[in-house]
Structures are given as C-alpha cells and as structure tokens.
Amino acid sequence: MKVRLFFATDVHGSEVCWRKFINSAKHYEVDVLILGGDMTGKAIVPIVDEGAGRWQYTMQDVVHNMQGDDELVLNERLIADHGYYPIRMTHEQVQDLTAHPEKLDELFKREMRGTVERWVQFADERLAGTNVQCIVCPGNDDTDDIDEILATSKTITVGEGNVIDMAEGYQLVSSGWTNLTPWDTPREEDEPALKERILSVVAQATAPPDRLVLGLHAPPYDTQLDVAPKIDWESLTVKGQDTAHVGSSAVKEVIKEVQPLLSLHGHIHESRAAERLGRTLAINPGSSYVEGTLSGVVVDLDGKSKVKRYRLTMG
C-alpha cells in the first residue's frame, strides 16, 4: 500500500508555518508528517511602550507605530508569523536586556519554551483522532529542552536520535545535529563526531535500506542541496555573489554507505533541490518561513522499495 509523507523544515518560530505544517496533513492527504528541525525563532522584537497607548517596533529597518490594543495584537501576530518573538517592554527594559545578556538568554528560553508548548497543544488538538503520524525532530538551532516539551505531546513523536516505525515497514532515522557552523549553535559538531552519531542511530534500524528514510537536518556536502552564500566566519558577512557548499561530508558518506530509499534534509534555506545519490533520493525543500510560506515536499512511497513520486510545494 502506498505511503504518503509530507516533509517540511526550518520554520524558525513562524506561528503561521507551524499551523500550516499541522494542517498540511489534511491538505495534502498524507499519512506521515515530518518536521526536519529548527523550530525555534532566532530573534526577539521589542515592542516598546511609548506611552498613552502608543507602541513602536522596528523590523527589517521599517519602523512600525501602533495605537491601541487592536493594532498591537495584530502586529504581534504579524511578528510571530514572521518567526520572531514579539515582547512588549519599556525603554528601560530594552536597555536592561542590552546590558545583561544573561537576562536576554533567560527571556529567549522562556519564549521558545512557551511557543513550543503552545504548538504542541495546537498539534494535539488538530491531530487527535486522526491516523496521521507526526514526527518532529529539532535542528541545530534548537536547544535541548525543546525535546522534553515535544515529548509531552500525545500526537508528536520526537525524532532526535531515534528510529521510528512508519506504515508498511518503513523506518525513519532522524537527527537534527549538523556539522560546524559559524554561529556556534546548540547542536553542531565536527564531521567525524557527526558521522559516528548518525551511524549509531542507523545501527538501530531494522528495516532494509530500500525501506529506510533518513531525516537529517544537515544536507549532504557538495550537492544541489547545500549551496549557500559564502560567509566570512569572522565578520559573519556575505562574500558578494560567491556561493559555497556548506553541507556535511559525514551525511554524504552515510548516505553513500547506507543507500537508503529516501533522505530528507533542511538547514540551508536557499538550496531547495532534489538530487539522487546513487539509489537514494535526497531532498531539501528549503524554507520560506519569513514569507509565512511553508516550503515542503510531498513524497509517495510505493509501499515496496521505490519512491513513486515527489513534488516540492509552496503552501
């Protein structure tokens, strides 16, 4: 029997993208939903109290002024859909956070946890009573405590470091860890350690390669899936039009050695592509979370040993 997967990744705190991800089960009539990592947002947008019911925030160099609660709530929603955390605060609180990084860290943790808790609740409401399997794997930008919150869900299975059974004997091997980045993110390590980590999870799989799906956040190195603007690691600036392959050689080696049926990746938002590596179809659907658009891929497995078809989506 055919099994249909929907895979999306890198929603980075976007409220609208998470809702779309959960709703995509019905929209694309899929059996399995897989989120490939990087759930949490990257930034807090302070909405500053200017007094007399006036508020102001700046996003992408545009200054937004609001008057009254209705406008405030609407703009908070827009910021959250964008993937950022909107926080109301005074000028004094902004300065306090600027001066005290530890307070900022605490605020980030609180917002990330709060958002994921709300997302879990939404997923449980929507997916309860359906036969949809929902697998969520954090990515390199997600802190460890996210896994614990996801584990409280009644409908979500946590992917990190696990082998997860799917319909028709397919299995998903999942990890959100990546090779080193210039940002020193929570889940990254050098290539040998990453390879060892992935192989240790693969070793737990009992399905044959032609029924095995890898869900690895980092894309394989030197493919169409891992092209990003070239960055100076010191200044964190983009080097003109130059691009570079920034994926993981460990991931590529594992794919070549194991030759699973399908390999799903994310991490590099700009590198939306599909490529065959030997018998394996590797896909990175990219990410357009900033637009509030959910980039994904619908994959039909034939119930045997082949990917029947796939289509990249922008929903």
Partner 1 sequence: MATNAGTQPPAEQTLFVRKASGLVKGWSTGDGFRYSFFSTNIFLGIWGFLYAVFIPGGSVFWSIIITTLFVLLEVVVYSGLISAMPRAGGDYVWQSRVFHSSVGFIFGATGWWFILWLWIPIYAALCVNSFIKPILRILGAGGSADWLASKNGVFVASLATIALATYLVAVGMKTYARFQKWALWIGLAGCAVAAILLLVTTKAHFITAFNREALHLYGTKDAYAATIKNAGAGMPSSMFAGTFKETLKLIPVMAFWLLWPVWGATLYGEVRGAKDFRKNIYQMAGGLLAAVAIVIAFLFLVTKTMGWAFFESSANGYMGVLYAYIDPSKVVGGGDYLSPTAMTAWIVNNAAFQVILIAVISLLVFGWWGTVFLSSTRMIFASAFDRILPERVAKVTSGGVPVYALLLMAIPSIIVSAFYAYQPSFVQLTYDATLVIAAMFFVTGLAFMVMPWRAKAIWDNSALPKGKFLGIPWLAVVAAIYSLFMLGNLVAWFYDKTNVYGVGYKNKNSMIFMGILYVAAIVIWIVAWAVRKRQGMELEAVAKEIPVE
Does residue 91 touch partner 1 according to CB under 8 A? yes
Binding part of the chain for partner 1, among 75-83, 127-135, 147-155, 190-198 by CB under 8 A, reads: 75-83
Cα–Cα distance measured from residue 33 to residue 166, given in angstroms and rounded to the nearest whole number? 11
Residues 96-135 that bind partner 1 (CB under 8 A): 97-98, 104-105, 107-108
Is-contact 196 248, C-beta < 8 A? no
Q: DSSP alpha helices (H): ranges in 100-182? A: 101-127, 145-151
Piece in contact with partner 1 (CB under 8 A), picked from 130-138, 149-157, 182-190, 203-211: 182-190
- Distances in whole angstroms, Cα of residue 22 to Cα of each of 15, 125, 174: 11, 10, 19
Shortest reach from residue 140's CB to partner 1, in Å: 7
> In the set 274, 282, 299, 301, which binds partner 1 (CB under 8 A)?
274
Instruction: Report the SS3 class of residue 214.
Output: strand
Does 243 sit near partner 1 (CB under 8 A)? Answer: yes
Contact 241, 183 (CB under 8 A): no
Please tell me the count of residues contacting partner 1 according to CB under 8 A: 80
Candidates 62, 70, 102, 234; binder of partner 1 (CB under 8 A) is 62
Please tell me the total number of residues recorded for the chain in this structure: 315
Q: Tell me the HSE value of 199 on the side-chain side, using a 13 A CA sphere.
A: 13
DSSP class of residue 219 equals: P
- Tell me the per-residue interface mask from 153 to 172 with partner 1, x by CB under 8 A, - otherwise: --------------------
CA–CA dist 8, 287 (Å, integer) = 8
Among 290, 302, 303, 306, interactor with partner 1 by CB under 8 A: 290
**In terms of CB distance, is 171 or 287 closer to partner 1?**
287
Stretch that binds partner 1, among 196-204, 236-244, 247-255, 257-265 (CB under 8 A): 236-244
